[in-house]
Structure 1
């Protein structure tokens, strides 16, 4: 089991890589396409556009785990 120190946890604001952005938006678009509730008021109908707009507003509650020399969790705790 890996333990994580407080120093290795980063909270918002932080920068996602382009791969993390693509994965988050893609996963959220799939959720929306499968019938998940939309978290914003929008007149768009394309799930990808809705997911991109949600991402830009910063309201997608997803935690990213990065593995480099040690684990780093990127968390947004202000959403809950």
Structure 2
């Protein structure tokens, strides 16, 4: 549970930054980045860590994928709109 609480910031930040994309009429990019985060990063981390960490691997996967999603959204916004 302690590991999972680390993802709370990134999940909230993703909600905030996604609304920024929607305000800019660009709803496709957040969906693509979310799909990458869930299916590539989250499942990859879980698969790699499940043997060594057990059920905690799910929490680590959530933290890492949420952070990666936030970083991808933030970098893309800075590059596209020069923020």
Same fold (TM over 0.5): no
Q: Could you state the TM-score of these two structures normalised by the residue count of structure 2?
A: 0.35
**Larger fraction in strand:** 1
